[in-house]
Amino acid sequence: MTARRLKTGGRIDRSRELSVKFDGKSLPAYPGDTLASALLAGGQQIVGRSFKYHRPRGVVAAGVEEPNALVHLRSGDRHEPNVQATIVEAFDGLISTPQNAWPSLQFDVGAVNGLLSRFFGAGFYYKTFIGPFGGTKFWMFCEHFIRKAAGMGQAPTLPDPDHYEKINAFCDLVIVGAGPAGISAALAAGRKGDSVFLVEQDRDLGGSLLSEPVGAPSDAWLAQARAELSDLPNVQILTRTTAFGAYDCEVFGLVERVQDHVLAPEEGKPRQRYWVVRAKRAILATGAIERPMVFAGNDVPGVMLTSAVRSYLNRYAVLAGERIVVATNNDSAYTAAIELAKAGAKVTICDLRQAAPPPFVESARKAGIDLRSGHAVLKVSGGKSVKAAHVVRISPGGKIEGNATRIACDLVTVSGGWAPALHLWSQRFGKPQYNEELDAFLPPAEKGTFSCVGSLVGSPSLRDTLSQGHKAGGTIGKEPALFGHADHWGRNLAPLTVIAKANGRTPGKAFVDFQHDVKLADIDQAHLEGYVSVEHLKRYTTSGMAADQGKTSNLNALARMAELRGLAIPSVGTTTFRPPYTPVTIGAVVGHDHGLNFRPTRLTTIHGWHKHNGSVMIETGAWLRPWYYPARGEDINDAYIREAAHVREHVGIVDVSTLGKIAVQGPDAAEFLNRIYVNGFKTLPIGKLRYGIMLREDGFVFDDGATTRLSEHDYFMTTTTANAANVLARAEYLIQTAWRDLKVHVTSVTDQWSAIAIAGPKSRALLTALTGAELSNDALPNNHFADVTIAGVGCRLHRMSFSGELAYELYVPAKRGRQIWEELIAAGAPYNLKPYGLEAMGALRIEKGHITGSEIEGRTTLKDLGLEGFASSKKPFVGSVLRKRPVLEDPARPSLVGLEIVGNTSTRAGSLLYALNAPTKGHGEGWVSSVTYSPALKMNIALALLSRGPERFGETIQVVDFVGNQTLQGKVVSHHFFDPEGHRQNG
């Protein structure tokens, strides 16, 4: 192949040369070029090495269908692998390097794989995996080498320095593809006043018209149309934007490559922008992709799609060869062939039809083309570039006849018909219909809110294409009338793309899927091995599974399968199309939602104080909570043990604002509570609060918390931090569906109230001094609340204990949370008040034997947790029937116990429990749910679920941590380790 840049022509700006490099070599490039056109203009024939056999490969296409020309783009932290050279716009400073070729493009060690091709045939991976060589082990051995030698580009290893953004949008109409059909549709719809998104993956509007010669009649129309569209404020034009996914309800995913066409993004601009567009209807004008032909040597650099060669000629002023053989089975190649001849190339057309329509024959002859009707290319010879085409006669029945004639040439262009780019349509609606005349799968012109226009539906002419777009857009304004060469592809096509000898073989490797190196012989082999489904065929041979998703290979693969099975193509069917149409960078999908911005962080109103006072924070769900407040030199263990011990001796405060809080209001509030809690709530008097437990419908424990009766019809419920949202959703569900007879409302008030727990023997004295209220045991017994005033702020003081100490929870209007916390800190000085964090709170509740999410983990029942006594027998409640399922009543079920760990070592939650002399195999007899060092007991303790646990108090068992590889012993005791009678909290 001796490609060269022509002196004139092309849609490039010759006034400015760009610095563009490939493999260290400078390429002649101008604004308007792609990397691929620059590669061709620079005479770079070999661009990469193939996936399995490391065969030299060159540019095949001019768009997103390119299977071969994958390169590494940029370097350092902007290094990007597997970039198609055909869609990379040339920019000043562009650096690209070959991938998958070591040590060089010209001499590739991996090419030895070509000699081992028997091993790399269809199903190689599967067979190796399950095969006779020791199965998995052999695979693991091979994999290392295969991945190194094959594989695609090198993944980047440095953090991406650029940023990406997401945008949500709404419109009446999405038009995908701004070729003649899409533009025509956008004009009509835009004139109508519809809000329109016109989405085009290219840098320019125009589609196939950009491949017309400069000065063609379509140029004037295109300029006019662009001007009109950009004047319409209701038409949003998105170029460099790919609609990669069509989802239900007319939702489209787009990626706009905002700053991909420059060396580095401008300050403040995102590299890419991810659009989620919700439309009322859609017009797909996505065009069609030319089909290659399958013959021996069809992958030699210098075998290209005819339409691509025409694009390079007219758009980029690159003549891809001097002596050109054009192989075709349809009319569409003639225009290109004639233009190539006019540009100075010596052209031979091998048309495998017996006769092309007379006007084409005449034009070809006039242009000095050697037209060989009823001929096909059987083989291309040449290693690193095309040297000759071996041409044979084709009978009217499609069989080759006689011996091949050698035609010396440097470029072979192929046109095997066209495959409509129906990916988006198929993503949305499934299987398309096969059209025999066009030998293609086509979407219908109308389905649901989708219209398909232009080459996508096999439009026979440019005029028809424009007319279809105009109608689909709404038929407003003058219908564009243009006659041109674009699109008349479908007519008179001979449905034959595989050129093989009578025995079905090709004289050399013939490729169906270039990117994955799938040969015609691999399809044949899969057929011999009994594969019939195209979905299986695809996975077995990996045809169509590369990054290009088979844009050039799918039809040829399934046509071959149909032929082998003696079936028509529609009986074989096509594979399923899934998003994305072209690869989408992870960065675009993620946008700014990473790191701290992955999800919103919830902070309590007291957060600033915690940070200021050195608290180490911990994530609990979306919340950040104080974990511990280390004094100088303390680690977490020192800190929490000190904090917990301090609470038992003096007084401590902890921020519990994260508790779920729900206002339950209405005349039937008591009945509602009575139904969702296992214990009775109808008798709860005003001024009191009660601990309650909820079950799920299936009878397992759901959540626990305290509910306070504020007035006749007004209750205040708390839930665990973790389950706040679930409890509210479930309550709303029941109230709005099954219990519509209840007059009750539930409202989340979690964010309206800060909550502070004050615990320790000195808590009463502190609060009495601070509030001036009468808080004696008679005035405010346990499980009662009082309205108090602190620094002029009305608060509610609930007397209740999670730590087992004399304790209160103070509910403060959220905005005053930090102020009241600081009032407590100041007033607490004489009482030696200290803040404590989540870790100490955990230690205190484990000493007391209180459960949390570690025990209420979805697999435990009331009985398992020793809470059966709470269940009322006088009323039904959610889960009351199913909790009594026989399997849940089994006495062998693991039940809650305490463990005193023998020795000074702490165990770990998740450890498994075994009897003392039992082998430590299998799942054991239970597990550890929570662990802590107990400052009160001066030993390591744990809560655990143990089979028949309460019957085994006093027994010593094995506590095995398989993760930490540690076996300890523990004595089974009651989980109420500390003050089981509750003297301290009730005193």
Which positions touch other proteins (CB under 8 A)?
Answer: 247-251, 276, 278, 675, 697-698, 725, 729, 732-734, 736-738, 740, 876, 881-882, 884-885
Least Cβ distance, residue 589 to other proteins (angstroms): 13
Query: Rounded to 5 degrees, what angle do the CA atoms 711, 715, 716 make?
Result: 125
User: At 41, which helix (H) or strand (E)?
Assistant: helix 35-41
Q: Which is nearer to other proteins, 726 or 768 (CB)?
A: 726
Q: Which is nearer to other proteins, 370 or 698 (CB)?
A: 698
Least Cβ distance, residue 271 to other proteins (angstroms): 24
- 3-class SS letters over 234-294: CEEEECCEEEEEEEHHHEEEEEECCCCCCCCCCCCCCCEEEEEEEEEEEEECCCEEECCCE
Distance in angstroms (rounded) separating the CA atoms of residues 101 and 124: 22
The pairing of strands 56-57 and 48-49 is antiparallel
Q: Which is nearer to other proteins, 38 or 277 (CB)?
A: 277
Q: Is the peptide bond before 580 cis (omega within 30 degrees of 0)?
A: yes
Q: Which is nearer to other proteins, 505 or 884 (CB)?
A: 884
Least Cβ distance, residue 387 to other proteins (angstroms): 53
Q: Which is nearer to other proteins, 158 or 249 (CB)?
A: 249
Least Cβ distance, residue 600 to other proteins (angstroms): 12
C-alpha of 728 from chain center: 30
Token duo for residue 62 = 């001019």
Q: Which is nearer to other proteins, 140 or 729 (CB)?
A: 729
Least Cβ distance, residue 445 to other proteins (angstroms): 19
Least Cβ distance, residue 734 to other proteins (angstroms): 8
CB of 284 closer than 8 Å to CB of 182:
no
Distance in angstroms (rounded) separating the CA atoms of residues 772 and 759: 18
Q: How many CB atoms lie within 10 A of CB 273?
A: 21
Least Cβ distance, residue 925 to other proteins (angstroms): 28
Q: Which is nearer to other proteins, 214 or 742 (CB)?
A: 742
Instruction: Provide the edge-to-edge strand list for the sheet that holds 388-394.
Output: 375-381, 388-394, 400-408
Q: Which is nearer to other proteins, 129 or 247 (CB)?
A: 247
What's at 557, amino acid-wise?
Answer: A
> Residue 310 contacts by C-beta under 8 Å, 6 or more apart in sequence?
211, 335, 336, 339, 340
- For the chain, how many helices (H) and strands (E)? 25, 50
What separation in angstroms does the CA of 215 have from each of 11, 209, 210, 222, 751?
10, 11, 11, 11, 67
Least Cβ distance, residue 279 to other proteins (angstroms): 10
428 forms beta bridges with none
Q: Which is nearer to other proteins, 881 or 918 (CB)?
A: 881
Least Cβ distance, residue 732 to other proteins (angstroms): 6
Q: Which is nearer to other proteins, 26 or 747 (CB)?
A: 747
Distance in angstroms (rounded) separating the CA atoms of residues 286 and 453: 8
Phi and psi (nearest 5°) for 83? -90, 130
What's at 17, amino acid-wise?
Answer: E
Q: Which is nearer to other proteins, 168 or 917 (CB)?
A: 168
Least Cβ distance, residue 343 to other proteins (angstroms): 49
Least Cβ distance, residue 697 to other proteins (angstroms): 5
> Residue 709 contacts by C-beta under 8 Å, 6 or more apart in sequence?
684, 685, 686, 687, 688, 689, 715
304 forms beta bridges with 413
Q: Which is nearer to other proteins, 511 or 677 (CB)?
A: 677
Q: Which is nearer to other proteins, 140 or 738 (CB)?
A: 738
Residue that is written with structure tokens 């919830």 in the block:
602
Residue that is written with structure tokens 């998003």 in the block:
579
CB of 807 closer than 8 Å to CB of 595:
no
Distance in angstroms (rounded) separating the CA atoms of residues 200 and 243: 8
Distance in angstroms (rounded) separating the CA atoms of residues 13 and 676: 74
Least Cβ distance, residue 165 to other proteins (angstroms): 18
Least Cβ distance, residue 877 to other proteins (angstroms): 8
Distance in angstroms (rounded) separating the CA atoms of residues 136 and 128: 8
Q: Which is nearer to other proteins, 634 or 732 (CB)?
A: 732
Least Cβ distance, residue 744 to other proteins (angstroms): 12
The pairing of strands 375-381 and 388-394 is antiparallel
Token duo for residue 363 = 């034009």
Q: Which is nearer to other proteins, 579 or 583 (CB)?
A: 579
Least Cβ distance, residue 585 to other proteins (angstroms): 20
Phi and psi (nearest 5°) for 630? -70, 135
Residue that is written with structure tokens 């005791």 in the block:
973
